[in-house]
Amino acid sequence: MKAFRGLDNISVVGGLGALAFLGFLPTLFPGKYLIGVLTVAAIYGIWSVSWDFMSGLTGRENFGHSLFIGVGAYTAGFLNVQFGWGPWWSLPASMVVAAFFGLILGFPTLRLRGPYFALAMLSAAVIMQRLMLIFWEFTGGEEGIQDITPLIKDPLHYYWLVLALLGAITWFLAWMARSRWGLILRAIRGDEATCLAAGLPITTYKIASLIISAAFAGLGGALYAHYQLQVSPQLFAVVTSITIITMVYVGGMGTIFGPVGGALLLTLMTEGLRNFGEWRLMVYSLLLIFILFFLPNGIVAPTWNKIRNLFSQERP
Amino acid sequence: MLYSTNFRSLRRLATASALVGAFLGLISPQVLAQAANTKPIRIGVPTSVQLQVGRDTLTAIKMAVDDINKKGGVLGRKFEFVAADETENPETGISAIKKLTADEKVDLLIGGYTSGVTLAQLPHISAAKTIYLGVGAASPSITAKVKQDYDNYKYIFRVGPINAAHQARNLVDYISNFVIGELGYKNIAIVGENAKWVQDLVPVLAKGAKDVGADVKLTELFDTQTSDFSPLLAKVKSSGAQYMIVVLSHASSDVFAKQWHDAQVPVPYGGIDVKSMDGDFYSRIGGKSISEVAANFAVRAPLTKKTVPFFDEFKKNSANSPVYTAFFAYDSVYIYAEAVRRAGSFDTDKIIKELEKTKFEGVAGEISFDEMHDVQAGKGKLSLIFAQWQDKGERVVIYPKELRTGNFILPPWMKK
Amino acid sequence: MEILIYGAVTSAIYALLAVGFTLIFGVARILNLAHGSFYALGAYGTYVLTSIVGLPLWSAALIAIAFVAVFGIVVEKVLIRPLRHSQLGVLMISLAVALVVEQTLFLVFGSEYRNVPSFVDTKINLGGVDVAGQRLLTLAVAAVAIGALYIFIQFTRLGSAILAISQDPEAAKYMGIPSDKIFSVVMAISAALAALAGVMAGPFLSVQPSMHLLPIVKAFAIVVVGGLGSIPGSIAAAFLLGYAETCVAYLISSSWTEIVSVLATLLMLVFRPAGIFGKRAAF
């Protein structure tokens, strides 16, 4: 019954512990390679969490999440390279621009039912990708924008920054999910008509949650841009959206923290499969099919719940 | 008692000596190795492994590595190499560099194909302070960085191909001396894919062509993903152009040729078409590239002492004849080896200083670098050779005149 | 003039794709994102059978189409049917199938373009426009195929059964129509049409592992514009889009063509989700 008030102690301890563990991991196994992989994993974590907040709770699966990511990343690229702004401006700017896109896309599309919303967002992402290619004189076309300045030169410190942001965003969204906000979003998934009858302004909530989701996705995009030091239209690709959705499924839809675990797991798995690079997408797709059939609640969240229950039973 | 004490200490001494001896025995190869530094020189090869350009890069490197290793390696160390797929996508390219430098800890990088990918990789290569010898990407922006920011980007060299601007000038010569000079076609159309290197090349080409008297009826860059060229071909036809100059690398040259052939467009074409450099290009599209003129960097002719032996040796290692990245990858290994020998050490900065002084007789011509570490073009150095696809998939060199091996033919539907 | 002819050819290919897509949706409520994969497999199948196995073109094409039809049935039965209760689940799994097919093609054949031989290699001059024979043949074949489908649905028992299920699945069940079997039949037809498109268009369009993506985006665009579940709607929309794209390509530039269909989808979904002819709303 404490679930809606705040996070219970075990979850807090668990979350902080995981964060600390991740933070210290590179010091145990020093090497740029691991830091790189973990940074990317953390960024995917931000993307997954932001997706889960909107789509996981409302059940409106957004197949065009890559649009917000790309928009955030390109904002960072433009400001940094084209306009010469300092890299730290990218963070708030990307959030604002992505949120804006969330607003203008949310209005017309959120009244659509599940699959249609999904495909409408997919179409929007494809259009953005195309536009980036068409206006190649401004956007660098297929090869994108290069030479973005890093936020923090030291990879380890940058990793800690990303990790800190991941922790903050996850905590914030988890808190939102457990608050009245989350309750309403879940109610929308259950039965919109009843919500309407109860007088709830569901459209406002839906659009607002999309905006929040988009803002954080854009932030992740900017962080990615300052890590890769370049942006390209690939960021808008369907593959990015699908990867994130897979991560959320693996983590456990609607749990907020589950997708973080999913992101970490899958990114590490991808690196492990590096030698079989071509097989990676194949494995992802097969994994997705497998999970859809056998583990619709994902892997991370149910496992954590079991662990948590073990602890709570042990209390005297 | 004295006896036993002596014995015991003797035994202890014996055990100790045995242990020390064994220890020395075990570590001495390492010690000796450290002294002689025989750990192998690791070459990282970021390239598009799936494509011909990638496969040939690797085959050529293998040939060079085997040859040098047979002769004892460099300063006592042997080469080994490891590949990483950069595909044609900047994201994957960056991962490839990270894997090679951070994980595989390579000593040098040889490879590259897509200019956009290489540009994206540059900051990461610079951060890893690893020498990079480019063999496939043509954008001048890559080496421009060497001049802009020498300290950070001195590691970057381009061994081949000659950059887009040089290639444009070669094309202008082709247009001026051959298309206008011999074929008498003044009206030309310029068609290219919308990739960075083409964006760099086409303005130089268009201006140069106008300067030599061509009437450029149409200039169009199409999206690399395009699969239906009929609108484009129709535009070319109605523009009044008599010859179509193409600048293609990643685009679907196969489909382009097929569609051009099937619609029997009455405009012959030629230019830079990387996929057309593949030995099996003609046969894999059912011969539909007949009469296309494609630029190559080398053909099996004695351009230098090394050209013909290289082609023959390559044939032993691969079923197809080599594409351009092979020539430069092969040369790169030797160029690096020689720079190391001259420097007398493996210190990166010393090697860079020696690389800058390179004057190497390569497979396609003499290799030397300008102040931006970019390979120089010109007579005796590197330049484009234009060969035409003729009957039965034969490639006939038609320009430059000195290397001509046959006569130019028109597409079969244009013969009178 | 060129626009007229090339537009017709493009529209014909799109029509083949769209009709199959809308058929399976209208009958079984399945939004099949693997539809593009059928197109791809048709082209690759023909390539494999002609280049590697060495069969003559006609038989290779027919066998490829048959194989894809069977593949479609298997996918439907094994992967899609269990998840039928959730439209999103179906969407996800069909997408996953599409990705698996793409990756398999990539792993087996590599990312380079493959060559599917043409049925006819001549050039025909129609009203002053040079057209490749293969393109005109595609137009003809598409017309015949769709015409045959129409006759099949209107005039055969099986066709009536299909119509019945698409109009009212419950009533059809009460009438004793075996819906599961009908789903398989419809899936087979849908897949076969897509494969046919692949076989006919393969010779002049690109054949590479990611070739499934654009057709599915276009098919979805057409079907949304024409109205999900309406065959005449799909055909009309196919022509609309096909011509729109061709006009854009000739008059503006080829780069904008892809946007046409995707933008059309987006706009339709936003303003008139039922499409032009559709009966079913999207919300």
Answer with the residue of higher pLDDT: A125 or C132.
Answer: A125
What is the DSSP code (8-state) at residue B65? H
Task: Say if the Cβ atoms of A142 and B103 lie within 8 Å.
Answer: no
**CA A43, CA A264: separation in Å to the nearest integer?**
9
For residue C4, give every residue at least 6 positions away whose Cβ sits within 8 Å of its Cβ, in sequence order, or none.
Answer: none
Residue whose structure tokens are 């043409």: C118
Strands B269-273 and B359-361, bridge-based pairing: unpaired
Q: Which chains sit next to B, with 3 or more Cβ pairs under 8 A? A: A, C
pLDDT value, residue B14: 54
Angle, CA of A133, C264 and A202, to the nearest 5°: 100
Q: How far does C45 lie from chain A, in Å, by closest CA?
A: 20
Q: What percent of chain A has pLDDT over 70?
A: 91
**CA C40, CA A63: separation in Å to the nearest integer?**
23
pLDDT value, residue C121: 67
Average pLDDT over residues B67-79: 91
Distance of CA C274 to the CA centre of its chain: 20
pLDDT band at B122 (very low <50, low <70, confident <90, very high): very high
pLDDT tens, position by position, B249-260: 877 888 889 888
ipTM score for this prediction: 0.73
Angle, CA of C13, C16 and C20, to the nearest 5°: 150
pLDDT value, residue A313: 64
pLDDT band at C275 (very low <50, low <70, confident <90, very high): low
Q: Is residue C102 within 8 Å of C37, Cβ to Cβ?
A: yes
pLDDT band at C4 (very low <50, low <70, confident <90, very high): confident
Closest CA to C230 of C171, C157, C279: C279
Between chain A and chain B, the number of residue pairs with CB atoms below 8 A apart is 72
Q: Is residue C21 within 8 Å of C223, Cβ to Cβ?
A: yes
**CA B345, CA B33: separation in Å to the nearest integer?**
16
Nearest CB among B50, B255, B264 relative to C205 is that of B255
Can you count the helices (H) and strands (E) in chain C? 11, 2
Is the pLDDT score of A275 beyond 70? no
Task: Say if the Cβ atoms of B51 and C115 lie within 8 Å.
Answer: no
Nearest CB among A113, A238, A278 relative to C283 is that of A113
Task: Say if the Cβ atoms of C273 and A112 lie within 8 Å.
Answer: yes
pLDDT value, residue A3: 41
Q: What percent of chain C has pLDDT over 90?
A: 0
pLDDT value, residue A220: 93
pLDDT value, residue A70: 93
Helix (H, G, I), strand (E, B) or coil at B389: strand
Nearest CB among B51, B255, B262 relative to C206 is that of B255
On chain A, the residues whose CB falls within 8 A of the CB of C105 are none
Lowest-pLDDT choice from A8-22, B94-108, B344-358: A8-22
Task: Say if the Cβ atoms of C93 and A238 lie within 8 Å.
Answer: no
Q: Is residue A206 within 8 Å of A60, Cβ to Cβ?
A: yes
Task: Say if the Cβ atoms of B265 and C133 lie within 8 Å.
Answer: no
Task: Say if the Cβ atoms of C103 and A134 lie within 8 Å.
Answer: no
Nearest CB among A111, A119, A278 relative to C220 is that of A119
Is the pLDDT score of A71 beyond 90? yes
pLDDT band at B310 (very low <50, low <70, confident <90, very high): very high
pLDDT band at C96 (very low <50, low <70, confident <90, very high): confident
Contact status of A228 with chain B (Cβ, < 8 Å): yes
Lowest-pLDDT choice from A193-197, A255-259, B394-398: A193-197
**CA A252, CA A261: separation in Å to the nearest integer?**
9
Q: Six-digit token pair at B20? A: 């020390």
Task: Say if the Cβ atoms of A278 and C103 lie within 8 Å.
Answer: yes
Is the pLDDT score of C214 beyond 90? no
The CATH class of the A2-314 domain is mainly alpha
Q: Six-digit token pair at A253? A: 């839809």
Helix (H, G, I), strand (E, B) or coil at B119: helix
Nearest CB among C110, C132, C205 relative to B263 is that of C132
Please report the sign of the dihedral spanned by the C-alpha atoms of residue A23, residue A28, residue A31, residue A36.
negative
**CA C106, CA B46: separation in Å to the nearest integer?**
20
Closest CA to A216 of A43, A59, A32, A89: A43
Q: Where are the beta strands (DSSP E) in A82-161?
A: 145-146
Strands B187-193 and C129-132, bridge-based pairing: unpaired
Q: Six-digit token pair at B4? A: 């036993």
Is the pLDDT score of C21 beyond 80? yes
Contact status of A203 with chain C (Cβ, < 8 Å): no
Domain limits of chain A?
A: 2-314
Domains plus CATH for chain B? 41-161+303-368 (3.40.50.2300), 165-296+384-414 (3.40.50.2300)
Mean pLDDT, rounded, of chain B: 85
Average pLDDT over residues C163-175: 75
On chain C, the residues whose CB falls within 8 A of the CB of A118 are 88, 91
**CA B224, CA A134: separation in Å to the nearest integer?**
11
Indicate the pTM of the whole model: 0.80
Answer with the residue of higher pLDDT: B11 or B308.
Answer: B308
**CA A64, CA A123: separation in Å to the nearest integer?**
7
Average pLDDT over residues A13-34: 78
Residue whose structure tokens are 């990312």: C111
On chain C, the residues whose CB falls within 8 A of the CB of B254 are 113, 115, 206
